[in-house]
Structure 1
Amino acid sequence: MLAGLAAIDSRIKTRTGHLWEEVFTNAAQHNSLTTVAIGPTWRGNLVAANAWSSSHGLSHIGDGQHVGFINDFYDDEGWWASAWIAVYDLNHDSKYLDQAVTIFNDLDAAWNSTPVGGLWWNKKHEYVNAITNELYFSIAAHLDNRCPNDRERYINSAQAAWRWLFSSGIFTSQRNVKDGLAVGSNPGATEIVWSYNQGVVLSALTELSAATFQDLYIGIAKLIADAALANLTSADVNEDAVATLRDPCEAEMWCGIDGATFKGVFARNLAHLHSVSPEDKYAEFLRNNADALWTRSRDQYNRLGLVWGGPFTEPAGASMQCSGMDLFVGALSQLGEWNSDTESAKSGIGKRSFNARTGRLTREFFGLW
Structure 2
Amino acid sequence: MPLARYTAVALCWLGMSTAITFENVEDTFDTLRAWYNSSTGLWMPSAGWWNSANCLTMLANLATIDGTVKDRTKDLWQEVFTKAPTFNAQMTKTIGAHWRRELPSKLYLTDEIEEDATKFGFFNGFYDDEGWWALAWIAVYDLTHEQRYLDEAIRVFDDMHAAYNTTPVGGIWWNKDKTYVNAITNELHFSAAAHLANRCASQDAQHFITIAQDSWNWFYGSGMINDYNNVKDGVMATDPTGINMPIVWSYNQGVILAALTELSHATSQSLYITIAHTIADAALSNLTAINNEENPNLVLHDPCEPNCGIDGAQFKGIFARNLAHLHSVAPEDRYAEFLMKNAEALWQYGRDEFNRFGEVWSGPFAEPAGASPQCSGMDLLVGALAQLGEWEGNGTYIGGKVLSQGDEGRDGQGWDTVSGEFESSSARSPPVAGMAGRSKRGFFGSW
TM-score range, shorter chain: 0.7 to 0.9
- Specify whether residues 71 and 363 from structure 1 end up closer, same or farther in structure 2 by C-alpha distance, changes over 3 A only: closer
Secondary structure at the residue paired with 1:249? coil
Q: Corresponding residue for 1:181?
A: 235
Q: Corresponding residue for 2:216?
A: 162
Partner Cα separation in structure 2 for residue 259 and residue 300 of structure 1: 23
Partner Cα separation in structure 2 for residue 215 and residue 327 of structure 1: 26
Q: Corresponding residue for 1:61?
A: 115
Provide runs of 4+ in structure 1 moved above 6 Å: 235-240
Partner Cα separation in structure 1 for residue 62 and residue 311 of structure 2: 21
Secondary structure at the residue paired with 1:45? strand
Task: Give the CA deviation at 1:368.
Answer: 3.3
Matched, 1:205 2:290: no
Task: Give the CA deviation at 1:188.
Answer: 3.1
Q: Corresponding residue for 1:26?
A: 83
Secondary structure at the residue paired with 1:257? helix
Task: Give the CA deviation at 1:243.
Answer: 2.3
Matched, 1:229 2:284: yes
Q: Corresponding residue for 1:345?
A: none
The answer for unaligned runs of 5 or more in structure 2 is 1-57, 391-397, 402-432
Partner Cα separation in structure 1 for residue 150 and residue 442 of structure 2: 21
**Pick from 218, 226, 245: which aligns with 2:273?**
218
Secondary structure at the residue paired with 2:304? helix
Q: Deviations over 1:268-312 (max 9, x none)?
A: 000000001111110110010000011111111111111111111
Q: Corresponding residue for 2:225?
A: 171
Q: Corresponding residue for 1:273?
A: 326
Give the RMSD, CA atoms, in angstroms.
Answer: 2.8
Partner Cα separation in structure 2 for residue 27 and residue 364 of structure 1: 26
Q: Deviations over 1:38-85 (max 9, x none)?
A: 79x9885299858x679xxx5463332x21000000000000000000
- Specify whether residues 294 and 60 from structure 1 end up closer, same or farther in structure 2 by C-alpha distance, changes over 3 A only: farther
Instruction: Check conservation: 1:127, 1:183, Cα contact below 8 A.
Output: yes
Computing the radius of gyration over CA atoms, which structure comes out larger, 1 or 2? 2
Secondary structure at the residue paired with 1:181? strand
Instruction: Check conservation: 2:187, 2:256, Cα contact below 8 A.
Output: yes
Partner Cα separation in structure 2 for residue 88 and residue 310 of structure 1: 35
Aligned partner letter, 1:191:
P
**Pick from 366, 378, 381: which aligns with 1:328?**
381
Q: Corresponding residue for 1:368?
A: 446
Secondary structure at the residue paired with 2:115? coil
TM-score, normalised to structure 2's length?
A: 0.72
The answer for unaligned runs of 5 or more in structure 1 is 342-347, 354-360
Secondary structure at the residue paired with 2:228? coil
Partner Cα separation in structure 1 for residue 370 and residue 291 of structure 2: 24
Q: Which has the higher contact order (CA 8 A, sep 6+)?
A: 2
- Specify whether residues 362 and 182 from structure 1 end up closer, same or farther in structure 2 by C-alpha distance, changes over 3 A only: closer
Structure with the larger helix share: 1
Task: Give the CA deviation at 1:4.
Answer: 1.0
TM-score, normalised to structure 1's length?
A: 0.87
**Pick from 205, 228, 234: which aligns with 1:151?**
205
Matched, 1:45 2:102: yes
Provide the aligned length of Structure 1 versus Structure 2.
Answer: 348
Instruction: Check conservation: 2:358, 2:365, Cα contact below 8 A.
Output: yes
Aligned partner letter, 2:115:
I
